[in-house]
């Protein structure tokens, strides 16, 4: 099963918000502090009752999710998940729920009919409902959201809750507030005992061997039957699992490039574990001596890979909710983290929040939600809708600066080598064609779009004032030529900076034949298009190719040599 969308209703300051998960794409919640980003992440986490806190604290937690302004609220908080059924659900996997009483046994036929329905639809909506009465939380329940008769059956609530246990796990990460403890105690009577990190280490043992656990490991040091050699053997195997997982999945990430090895050691006398880190130069450090960035990644690895109560390997693509990651690291580390997140979304769904300009993935901008708080109510607006109402004229990305209240200055130059295009569509095409021509070469420049050929003056003025190394590319049609002459004359620029397409009277989409456009459309959308490809479809094609490596590799095979040669000449002329 795969999470595709979350609908949040009546949760703290949220009236109603949709968050869509897009395959292999980062989902960004962007907004200032206190705008409501964390509230959205916590609501998604709350969907899964496995994330609930201990029963004796649960009511207090539920009270915090009620709308603060309505102290006597009778309005239920609701979180609805849309789940894609990638493999047919089998009723035999849920056989245990029919053994909980005679009513359950009588419902099997109805459940079979319901399974047939959702397997046919290949989609399922489950809602968690937390009711309130006079401001006090009542017993929560799950329900199916559909028009099938079984959804109204009381037994459906039992089945819905059981299904959540088979859904992908959802894990929330809160910046650096939950760092790896220097000592992970194994005795619950110790004041420094941390149940979360105990579970993580216990999960590491379990991942090594299902028979392994912290308690069984401690028995090997029993006074009556002391087996230190066996204990050492177990710990060596556990460390092998830790470093194997670390190397296989995480070594390539920038945040851990200086970590050569990690080691878990056990101190028998005081009953605690300790984690040490060995750098590439052979120096060994404790977790309190390493950089915050490296420790964040190590903590992230251990939580996602080894947390035993989350261990549902066959449940599908997990969802990581990452709140303000690395916001206290320097800008380069933050930008590297974006690259790392892109690697993670190959087999996970990542929703992260930030108010940092360095943690924005511009090539993922279409899956960015702008989060704002207005009169206590949290609003979420997808980027494509947000820019329609924004009145900024400088550039397609200027609203990002507006959202974050960024004021550029001489100390923060956002680019060292840049190309300015007429609009977003031109940018997407150039990014894709650069990858086609230079698949083995790292892109050492940025491309950022304006809003039209005639509307770049303010943006160009900024770059002149910042002394940026930039060039401008315009269409070679009448409008593009007029804009070139205007910028050269009014801003005292030369033709090497303000250029037009080398082929006369062309827009960039004219570099492709109609056959190529239709072939690319078929690759991207997996269906034929008989009519001409319109401008919006053309832009969408290159937006997807820019983020989908597999489709880009197929696209290379349908591009003709004359088209490729045109872009070679263009990039040579631009000298990028």
d(CA 43, CA 49): 11
| Cα gap 200→177, rounded to integer Å | 16
Chain position carrying tokens 């496995």 = 50
200 vs 281, which has greater pLDDT?
A: 200
Host H or E run for residue 110: helix 108-121
Asked whether residue 558 carries a pLDDT value surpassing 90, the answer given is yes
Mean pLDDT within 437-456: 84
Task: Check whether 414 has a pLDDT greater than 70.
Answer: no
CA distance linking residue 190 with residue 248, whole number of Å: 35
Considering only CA atoms, which of 508, 518, 511 is closest in space to residue 558? 518
Question: DSSP state, 250?
Answer: I
In this structure, of 56-70, 303-317, 486-500, the range with the lowest mean pLDDT score is 303-317
Return the H-helix or E-strand segment holding 402.
Answer: helix 398-403
Q: Which pLDDT score, from 0 to 100, does residue 311 have?
A: 53
Residue 202, both tokens: 């216990």
Tell me the pLDDT tens digit for each residue of 103-125. 555 677 788 888 888 889 899 99
- Sorting pLDDT into bands at 50, 70 and 90, what band is 330? low
User: Token pair for residue 407?
Assistant: 């004021």
Q: What pLDDT is stored for residue 393 in this prediction?
A: 58
pLDDT mean over 520-534: 90
Write the DSSP assignment of 465-489 as a string of letters. HHT--EEEEE-SSHHHHHHHHHHHH
Beta-sheet pairing, 446-449 with 470-474? unpaired
Share of the chain above pLDDT 90, in %: 26
Alpha helices in 11-51 (DSSP H): 37-46
Higher pLDDT, 78 or 112: 78
CB atoms within 10 A of CB 30: 25
Q: Is 285 helix (H, G, I), strand (E, B) or coil?
A: strand
pLDDT of residue 410: 41
Residues in CB range of 364: below 8 A, 6 or more apart: 25, 26, 28, 342, 547
Q: Which residue has the higher pLDDT, 280 or 350?
A: 350
How would residue 411 be classed by pLDDT, with cut points 50, 70 and 90? very low
pTM of the model: 0.69
What local confidence, expressed as pLDDT, does residue 252 receive?
Answer: 62
pLDDT at 291 over 70: no
Between strands 349-354 and 319-323, the pairing is parallel
Instruction: Calculate mean pLDDT across residues 3-22.
Output: 92
Which of 500 and 388 is assigned the larger pLDDT? 500
218 has a pLDDT exceeding 80: yes
Q: Rounded CA gap, 126 and 83, in Å?
A: 8
The three-point CA angle 508-512-513 to 5° equals: 140
Q: Kindly compute the dihedral angle of the four CA atoms of residues 154, 158, 159, 161, in this order, to the nearest 10 degrees.
A: 130
- Given a cut of 90, whether residue 278 has pLDDT beyond it is no
Q: Where are the domains of the chain?
A: 2-22+36-167, 179-310, 418-574
Is pLDDT above 70 for 247?
no
Statement: residue 260 has pLDDT above 80: no
Structure tokens at 161: 């809750």
- Are the C-beta atoms of 317 and 2 separated by less than 8 Å? yes
CATH architecture of 2-22+36-167: 3-Layer(aba) Sandwich (3.40)
Evaluate whether 33 touches 117 at the Cβ level (below 8 Å): no
Confidence category of residue 559, pLDDT binned at 50, 70, 90: very high
User: Span 208-224, mean pLDDT?
Assistant: 88
Nearest CA among 122, 275, 105 for reference residue 184: 275
Taking alpha carbons only, the member of 435, 421, 438 closest to residue 472 is: 421
């Amino acid at each position: 099963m795969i999470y595709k969308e979350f609908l949040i209703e009546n949760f703290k300051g949220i009236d109603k918000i949709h968050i869509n998960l897009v395959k292999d794409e980062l989902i960004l919640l962007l907004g200032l502090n206190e705008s409501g980003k964390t509230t959205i992440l916590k609501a998604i986490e709350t969907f899964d009752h496995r994330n609930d806190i201990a029963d004796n604290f649960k009511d207090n937690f539920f009270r915090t999710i009620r709308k603060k302004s309505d102290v006597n609220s009778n309005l239920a908080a609701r979180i609805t998940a849309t789940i894609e059924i990638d493999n047919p659900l089998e009723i035999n996997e849920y056989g245990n729920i029919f053994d909980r009483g005679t009513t359950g046994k009588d419902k099997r036929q109805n459940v079979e009919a319901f399974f047939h329905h959702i397997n046919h639809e290949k989609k399922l909506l489950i809602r968690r409902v937390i009711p309130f009465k006079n401001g006090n939380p009542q017993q929560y329940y799950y329900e199916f959201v559909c028009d099938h008769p079984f959804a109204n059956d009381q037994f459906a609530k039992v089945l819905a809750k059981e299904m959540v246990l088979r859904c992908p796990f959802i894990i929330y990460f809160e910046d650096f507030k939950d760092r790896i403890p220097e000592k992970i105690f194994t005795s619950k009577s110790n004041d420094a005992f941390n149940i979360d990190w105990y579970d993580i280490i216990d999960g590491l043992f379990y991942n090594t061997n299902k028979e392994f656990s912290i308690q069984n490991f401690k028995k090997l040091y029993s006074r009556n039957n002391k087996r230190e050699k066996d204990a050492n053997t177990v710990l060596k195997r556990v460390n092998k699992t830790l470093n194997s997982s670390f190397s296989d999945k995480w070594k390539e990430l920038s945040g851990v490039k200086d970590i050569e090895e990690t080691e878990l050691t056990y101190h028998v006398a005081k009953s605690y574990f300790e984690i040490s880190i060995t750098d590439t130069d052979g120096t060994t450090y404790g977790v309190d001596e390493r950089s915050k960035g490296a420790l964040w990644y190590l903590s992230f690895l251990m939580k996602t890979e080894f947390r035993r109560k989350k261990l549902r390997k066959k449940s599908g693509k997990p969802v990581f909710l990452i709140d303000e990651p690395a916001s206290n690291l320097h800008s380069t580390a933050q930008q590297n983290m974006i690259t790392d997140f892109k690697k993670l979304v190959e087999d996970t769904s990542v929703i992260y929040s930030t108010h940092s300009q360095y943690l924005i993935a511009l090539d993922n901008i279409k899956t960015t939600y702008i989060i704002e708080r207005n009169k206590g109510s949290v609003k979420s607006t997808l980027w494509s809708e947000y820019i329609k109402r924004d009145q900024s004229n400088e550039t397609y990305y200027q609203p990002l600066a507006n959202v974050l209240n960024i004021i550029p200055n001489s100390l923060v130059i956002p680019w060292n080598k840049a190309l300015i295009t007429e609009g977003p569509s031109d940018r997407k095409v150039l990014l894709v064609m650069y990858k086609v021509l230079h698949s083995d070469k790292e892109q050492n420049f940025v491309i950022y779009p304006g809003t039209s050929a005639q509307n770049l003056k303010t943006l160009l003025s900024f770059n002149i004032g910042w002394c940026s190394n930039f060039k401008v590319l315009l269409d070679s049609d009448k409008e593009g030529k007029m804009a070139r002459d205007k910028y050269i004359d009014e801003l005292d620029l030369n033709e090497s900076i303000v250029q037009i397409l080398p082929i006369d009277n062309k827009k960039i989409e004219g570099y492709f034949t109609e056959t190529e456009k239709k072939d690319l459309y078929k690759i991207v959308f997996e269906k034929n298009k008989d009519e001409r490809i319109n401008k919006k479809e053309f832009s969408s094609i290159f937006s997807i190719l820019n983020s989908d490596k597999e489709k880009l590799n197929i696209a290379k095979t349908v591009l003709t040599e004359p088209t490729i040669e045109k872009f070679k000449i263009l990039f040579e002329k631009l000298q990028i």
